[in-house]
Amino acid sequence: MTREDDTYDTEFKAAALHDAVNGLREKHPMSSASVAFYPWQRNLLLALLAVGIVCAYFFPIPTLVAVTLFCTIAYVWTLADRLILFFRGLDGSTIVSISDEDALALTDDSLPPYTILVPAYNEPEVVADLIAAMRALSYPEEKLQVLLLLEEDDDVTIDAANAAGVGDVVTILLVPPADPRTKPKACNYGLHFSTGEIVTIYDAEDHPDPLQLRRVVAAFDRLPDNTACVQAKLAFHNGTQNLLTAWFTADYALWFGFILPGLMRSDSPIPLGGTSNHLRRSVLDEIGSWDPFNVTEDADLGVRIAESGYRTAVLDSTTLEEANSDAINWIRQRSRWYKGYLQTWLVHMRRPVGLWRGLGAVGFFRFTALMAGTPLIACLNMVFWLISLAWILGQPQVIQEEFPAYVYFPALISLLFGNVAVLYMNLIACRETRNSALLIAGLTTPLYWVMMSIAAIKGTYQLIRNPSYWEKTFHGLSGASTPTATETDAASSNSGAAP
């Protein structure tokens, strides 16, 4: 390489890094989470808080009654919407299904160039799994580019990758250190070096269906031209390791098997999963790729896809991941998700009228229910549990004053019907995994909600204190062996949505 080439290479990398960090906020500043709260949003929230404090001081009981009634209505509305999505997803007709025969019938010449981005940080223990998973993919080698995105100062993972011979399967791309240290920033950087017409993300511990890339190509051929993304299902290979992984597995089965297909039928924005979302490169360039300051960049991208007039489809192909088996590690991950959901809601609500026009009335309200309602209701659960505990421990007068009949009975219906409905949905989702070991997880889901509430409170607090901080989730805790291609195929066939 000549000195001129070296200079060009250095300048290109510097430009790629600048764009990875600043591209979205420079080109589409209103879509960037680099500023968590716009001034008018901050002032409005502070004003509402001040009004609430004043009302609670001078009119404590009426204020509590009004707040409780509002929260009860929000609970009932959110639950009803979730049930609608669930029943719409029951028949599985909206999930795109590509048979093995159709996937294998595609000739190598007809397949487009494909890029897989694999961001990893401080994960030396999963490098060997990555090699096995990428080698198992059925796609012509000359058309497949796999970029392992590692931070330049992540010596432990770099050494493990080199020792494992990753270079024989994938290309290691070192990401220069720069804040924010987030997964979307690494993906944005890798996008500048990608050559594929279709781009997807896998985590280093993922084990996708070997035919997944071919299925995606066939799906794009069948779907309308405005389809920007094909989201594969996610499941776990260690779902029966302990009760927490079983809860997590049932949670994913419900989400990817029913809720996302229900969203697909309703023309509502689909919050993408953090992995196995397959995107047209041209659309990524148009809407600004990932937001490096948003800690759930996948959900944010899904909303921007819908807001821009594009669609997302759900594919009946499964990627196996590792479910968090440690409670502290799980809370770290889930609190980041909740924080990112609130980030995404705040970002897109900067232009509520434009968002309404882009998503439509139903899409707008459903976006609010998912992005803001999910974490806030999880926070409120803890409050109402404490109120219930106060009643149990002998403070009925206060509870009676706070819950007059017109509040008490809707709240009671929400409590009884809501819990039964959620348990029912989880049991159906467990059945669809064809794993009877998840039955206990389905019946004990209320214990899982306690952990969700703790994570939501933590994420909401962190949104105020450190909004773009990416709390690292540690992998390789299951001690499970790498799933074989046969096991991955079996998981894919066992995760269908039809009951």
- Given the structure tokens 């059945």, which residue do they identify? 431
Once rounded to an integer, what is the mean pLDDT over residues 205-227? 95
pLDDT in tens, 128-182: 888 889 989 999 999 999 999 999 999 999 988 888 877 777 899 999 988 898 9
Query: What is the CB neighbour count within 10 angstroms for residue 372?
Result: 17
pLDDT in tens, 440-478: 888 888 889 999 999 999 999 999 988 888 887 776 666
Asked if the model's pLDDT at residue 221 lies above 50, the reply is yes
pLDDT in tens, 94-127: 899 999 999 999 999 999 999 999 999 988 888 8
- Given the structure tokens 């019938």, which residue do they identify? 105
Burial class (CB in 10 A: 0-12, 13-18, 19+), 301: buried
Provide the pLDDT confidence category of residue 343 given band limits of 50, 70 and 90. Answer: very high
Asked if the model's pLDDT at residue 6 lies above 80, the reply is no
| Structure tokens, 202 | 């896998």
Mean of pLDDT over the chain: 86
Confirm if 278 and 139 have CB atoms less than 8 A apart: no
Confirm if 223 and 314 have CB atoms less than 8 A apart: no
Asked if the model's pLDDT at residue 483 lies above 70, the reply is no
- Given the structure tokens 């009860």, which residue do they identify? 72
User: What pLDDT score does 209 carry?
Assistant: 96
Asked if the model's pLDDT at residue 418 lies above 90, the reply is no
pLDDT in tens, 230-281: 999 999 988 888 999 999 988 898 899 899 999 988 878 999 988 999 999 9
Q: With helix as H, strand as E and coil as C, how does the chain read?
A: CCHHHHHHHHHHHHHHHHHHHHHHHHHCHHHCCCCCCCHHHHHHHHHHHHHHHHHHHHCHHHHHHHHHHHHHHHHHHHHHHHHHHHHHCCCCCCCECCCHHHHHHCCHHHCCCEEEEEEECCCHHHHHHHHHHHHHCCCCHHHEEEEEEEECCCHHHHHHHHHCCHHHCCEEEEECCCCCCCHHHHHHHHHCCCCCCEEEECCCCCEECCCHHHHHHHHHHHCCCCEEEEEEEEEECCCCCCHHHHHHHHHHHHHHHHHHHHHHHCCCCCCCCCCCEEEEHHHHHHHCCCCCCCCCHHHHHHHHHHHCCCEEEEEEEEEEECCCCCHHHHHHHHHHHHHHHHHHHHHHCCCHHHHHHHHHHHHHHHHHHHHHHHHHHHHHHHHHHHHHHHHHCCCHHHHHHHCCHHHHHHHHHHHHHHHHHHHHHHHHHHHHCCCHHHHHHHHCHHHHHHHHHHHHHHHHHHHHHCCCCCCCCCCCCCCCCCCCHHHHHHHHHCCCCCC
